[in-house]
């Protein structure tokens, strides 16, 4: 296969970043790589919006009576944090940025199947974000990201409609992205790239897209019904109007539990790429890892009731949701074991993306295992609604999804920008994030077991020591996230020029120059080898 020589790449060369200049060339682009960068900019902004809410909350909780704000404001802070982080950062993060950039590159295609729909999905995301940001600046919303009824539909006096509308609109951007990926992966694979030769990142994207398409409409319907009740007093969820408050929770979690897998599955895919590259090994148990993604996608739709064990749902329903929730843990365990086995007899280097990936495995393992406490009925009764859940969710979402996202951003940064990041700084940042993360969230497991409920603006004094530890960790974590922001921006201008394949990685995206030309490949690649054929002789591309 043809590989552009890096020495030549140092000379001025036309690629997707310099092919056209000007704001218009970006805002009207249909190039999946440029759209990925549009997403990267917008979700980074949203990440720091949601992150500042978290920092304010942790500062506030240093003192039991609350150090910073009124309870009403605190309630708005955690709602804003949840809504922004989940719907505007975690859900689009890996799919819309890395997926957008990589799905066509990894399958050897010129673009996604529907480039203009791809641009449309970004505009939809922006419109949704604007509604939500408007809701925040025009008074905020205080329902929690879960919008539980009848509080949200009848009792809250805050910007419920604007926020729900923002989330509703953004959902369509997810649906369109999912649709685009499914069609692209089905129809546009390079010659020779069969399903079981695909990188596992693509399997993860495929599974995620299925959930996007099947789950997101249910969220849209749920929010629409909520708006109907709030604006027109149609009795759907509020018992005072003849509705059923638990119906909302069933509908909401029917989307929002699969959404948890929307957020983590792409991360699992990224980690498979990182582990294989930095140990130079074919993934151990390819089919098991690939099918575990699909198993997670299917099972994720059948476990929503484990959010409702203490709502008074039938104990037999509880039993079924409990056993299914245990089942969904198995594919995740299979992945962890296979990644570990992949390292066996490998050639392991500790470049920054690998540090993120190893950190991910550790934190994801803990997040997954603490999930068993919550799948098990008797322990869930005690832990549900406490800081234990907060910590479990953060181990999966921050220790898992965000670590994987950062690992992936670093890994593909040379491909995306054509520049190397400073590896030493990146490793230091990864370690600071790992340490700060654990200090922030490990004490929260203990707080939850001791019985501290979540979403408390003030709390009994006996919980203070652990809260102070957690807040201290949060300040370290905050700094850890600022460091990559600084050096990655710095590297775009001052970083060393990246060769086309700086890690000697496999995968079609590494066989074209960095940054790639607008059409991705000069000639359509033909795939002859399995994914991750690091053992083969021709693996030594410079």
Partner 1 sequence: MIMDLIPRLAALLDGLAGLPIFPDQGSTIAEGVDHLHYFLTALTLFFTFIIFSTIFYFAVKYRRRSEDERPAETKTYLPLELTWTLVPTGLCVIVFVWGSSLYFRNSRPPTASMEIFVVGKQWMWHLQHPEGPREINELHIPVGVPVKLTMTSEDVIHDFYVPAFRVKKDLLPGRYSSLWFQATKTGKYHFFCAQYCGAQHSGMIGWVYVMTPTDYADWLSGGTKGETMVQAGERLFTQYGCITCHIADGTGRGPVLQGLFGKEVRLKEGQTRVADEGFVRQAITNPNSMPLAGYPPIMPTYLGQMNEEQILQLIAYIKSLAGEERKTKGK
Return the residues of window 317-356 that contact partner 1 according to CB under 8 A: 318-319, 322-323, 326-327, 329-330, 333-334, 336-338, 340-350
Question: Binding of partner 1 at residue 238 (CB under 8 A)?
Answer: yes
Neighbour tally for 484: CB within 10 Å: 21
Of the candidate spans 23-31, 232-240, 299-307, 483-491, the one that interacts with partner 1 by CB under 8 A turns out to be 232-240
> Within positions 142 to 171, which residues make up the interface with partner 1, using CB under 8 A?
142-144, 148, 150-151, 154-156
> Within positions 480 to 509, which residues make up the interface with partner 1, using CB under 8 A?
none
Question: Binding of partner 1 at residue 214 (CB under 8 A)?
Answer: no
Cα gap 450→468, rounded to integer Å? 15
Considering only 379, 435, 475, 492, the residue that binds partner 1 (CB under 8 A) is 379
Intra-chain end-to-end CA distance of the chain, in Å: 13
Considering only 250, 382, 425, 490, the residue that binds partner 1 (CB under 8 A) is 382
> Within positions 508 to 537, which residues make up the interface with partner 1, using CB under 8 A?
533-535, 537
Question: Binding of partner 1 at residue 298 (CB under 8 A)?
Answer: no
CB of residue 315 to partner 1, shortest distance in Å: 5
Helix (H/G/I), strand (E/B), else coil: 497: strand
Indicate the residue among 189 and 282 with the shorter CB distance to partner 1: 282
Cα gap 108→131, rounded to integer Å? 37
Q: Which two tokens stand for residue 428?
A: 């230091």
> Within positions 265 to 294, which residues make up the interface with partner 1, using CB under 8 A?
279-282, 284-288
Question: Binding of partner 1 at residue 375 (CB under 8 A)?
Answer: yes
Indicate the residue among 148 and 425 with the shorter CB distance to partner 1: 148
**# binding residues, partner 1 (CB under 8 A):** 95
> Within positions 51 to 110, which residues make up the interface with partner 1, using CB under 8 A?
71-72, 75
Nearest-CA neighbor of 221 among 172, 269, 154? 172
Name beta bridge partners: 497.
419
CB of residue 151 to partner 1, shortest distance in Å: 4
Total residues belonging to the chain: 542
Residue 533 has phi, psi (to 5 degrees) of: -80, 60
Contact 168, 147 (CB under 8 A): no
Nearest-CA neighbor of 284 among 328, 236, 341? 341
Of the candidate spans 14-22, 374-382, 402-410, 483-491, the one that interacts with partner 1 by CB under 8 A turns out to be 374-382
Name beta bridge partners: 386.
453
DSSP symbols for 134-196: HHHHTT---STTTT-TTIIIII--SSHHHHHHHHHHHHHHHHHHHHHHHHHHHH-PPTT--GG
Q: Which two tokens stand for residue 353?
A: 């993306």
Question: Binding of partner 1 at residue 361 (CB under 8 A)?
Answer: yes
> Within positions 448 to 477, which residues make up the interface with partner 1, using CB under 8 A?
449-451, 453, 455-460, 462, 465-466
């Amino acid at each position: 296969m043809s590989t552009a020589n890096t020495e030549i790449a140092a000379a001025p060369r036309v690629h997707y970043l310099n092919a056209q200049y000007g704001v218009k060339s970006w805002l009207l682009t249909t190039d999946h790589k440029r759209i990925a960068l549009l997403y990267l900019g917008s979700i980074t902004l949203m990440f720091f919006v949601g992150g500042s809410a978290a920092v304010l909350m942790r500062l506030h909780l240093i003192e039991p009576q609350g150090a910073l704000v009124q309870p009403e404001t605190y309630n708005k802070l955690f709602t804003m944090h949840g809504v922004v982080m989940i719907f505007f950062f975690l859900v689009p993060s890996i799919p819309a940025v890395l997926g957008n950039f990589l799905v066509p590159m990894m399958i050897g295609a010129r673009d996604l199947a529907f480039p203009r729909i791809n641009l449309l999905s970004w505009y939809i995301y922006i419109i949704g974000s604007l509604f939500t940001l408007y809701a925040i600046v025009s008074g905020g919303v205080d329902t929690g990201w879960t919008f539980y009824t009848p509080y949200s539909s009848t009792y809250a006096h805050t910007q419920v409609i604007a926020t729900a509308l923002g989330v509703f609109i953004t959902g369509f951007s997810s649906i369109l992205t999912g649709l685009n990926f499914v069609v692209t992966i089905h129809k546009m694979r390079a010659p020779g790239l069969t399903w079981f030769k695909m990188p596992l990142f693509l399997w993860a994207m495929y599974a995620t897209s299925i959930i996007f398409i099947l789950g997101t409409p249910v969220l849209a319907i749920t929010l629409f019904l909520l708006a109907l009740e709030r604006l027109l007093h149609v009795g759907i969820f509020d018992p005072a109007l003849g509705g059923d408050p638990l119906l909302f929770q069933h509908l909401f979690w029917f989307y929002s539990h699969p959404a948890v897998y929307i957020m983590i599955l792409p991360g699992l895919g990224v980690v498979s790429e990182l582990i294989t590259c930095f140990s130079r090994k074919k993934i151990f148990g390819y089919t098991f890892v690939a099918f575990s993604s699909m198993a997670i996608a299917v099972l994720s739709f059948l476990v929503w009731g484990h959010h409702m064990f203490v709502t008074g749902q039938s104990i037999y329903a509880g039993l079924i949701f409990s056993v299914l929730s245990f089942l969904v843990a198995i594919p995740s365990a299979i992945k962890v074991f296979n990644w570990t086995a992949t390292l066996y007899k490998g050639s392991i280097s500790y470049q920054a993306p690998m540090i993120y990936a190893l950190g991910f495995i550790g934190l994801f393992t803990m997040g997954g295992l603490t999930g068993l406490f919550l799948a098990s009925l008797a322990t869930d009764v005690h832990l549900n609604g406490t800081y234990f859940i907060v910590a479990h969710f953060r181990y999966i979402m921050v220790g898992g999804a965000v670590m994987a996202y950062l690992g992936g951003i670093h890994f593909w940064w040379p491909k995306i920008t054509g520049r190397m990041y400073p590896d030493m700084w990146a490793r230091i940042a990864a370690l600071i994030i790992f340490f700060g993360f654990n200090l922030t969230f490990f004490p929260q497991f203990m707080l939850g077991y001791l019985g501290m409920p979540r979403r408390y603006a003030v709390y009994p004094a006996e919980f203070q020591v652990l809260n102070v530890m957690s807040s201290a960790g949060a300040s370290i974590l905050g700094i850890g996230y600022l460091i990559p922001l600084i050096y990655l921006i710095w590297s775009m201008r001052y970083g060393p020029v990246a060769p086309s394949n700086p890690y000697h990685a496999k995968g079609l995206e590494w066989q074209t120059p960095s940054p790639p030309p607008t059409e991705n490949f000069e000639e359509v690649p033909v795939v002859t080898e399995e994914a991750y054929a690091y053992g083969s002789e021709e693996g030594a591309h410079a």
